[in-house]
Amino acid sequence: MTPNICAGAAGSSKQEACSSIIMNLGSCSTVGRGGCCLKETAVTTATTRAVTATPAPAAETTTSTATGSPSSSGPNFVTMTVTMPYSKADFDTVKQDKYTVAMARAAGTTAANVVILAITEVRRRAGSVQVETKIHASDSEGVNNLIGNLGTGDALKSKIDDELKKQGLKESSGVTAPAKAGLSGDPLALSPLWVLVLAAHVFALSFV
């Protein structure tokens, strides 16, 4: 390392060697007589690196959509009527909720798929109500499964009665066979199409 040669005093052509030796990267903070450097101030060159924070990837949001849930207005359902030994007043919302659970279990589905359409007091039998019931399925195959699970005849009534008793309800007084949409288990009930056909026949006979 060589001594730093300082500039001479103003108006002098003479140059002196500074007694203080500084590094090439240093700078003089105190200048003495003759322009010599008396105190070195180190210069540190800092390199600033710009650090760009990489944002964490956004959490993936998964929207789950339930599938297979039947629509309350869809065409895939069965209807049936169950006669219960209760008055309309006695067959309150608590018993109705238990009834829907019993019917769902008998049909092999959930209570959310069972809808009570109407509760009609039976005039000819005091203390009895007819509970018109609709049980939904997700598709036509599901409808067939409902009918298969419920069964027919005595087996149908027995299965429903077992589930009713498990819910603390009385056994039914009667059960109509489950029918697909547009039909009915009650032989006296007619679909809208048959009503129109019958009306047309009655109208035609009025001119005979």
Element (H, E) at 64: none
Domains of the chain: 5-41 (no CATH), 77-187 (3.30.70)
Q: Note the pTM of the prediction, 2 decimals.
A: 0.54
Answer whether 26's CB lies under 8 Å from 6's CB.
no
Instruction: Give average pLDDT by consecutive 10-residue segment, the chain, 208 residues.
Output: 43 42 47 55 41 46 34 79 96 98 97 97 85 96 96 96 98 95 46 59 62
Token pair in block for residue 159: 């299965």
Phi-psi domain of 96 (left: phi exceeds 0; alpha: psi -120 through 50; beta: other): alpha
CA atoms within 13 A on the CB side of 90: 12
Element (H, E) at 93: helix 93-107
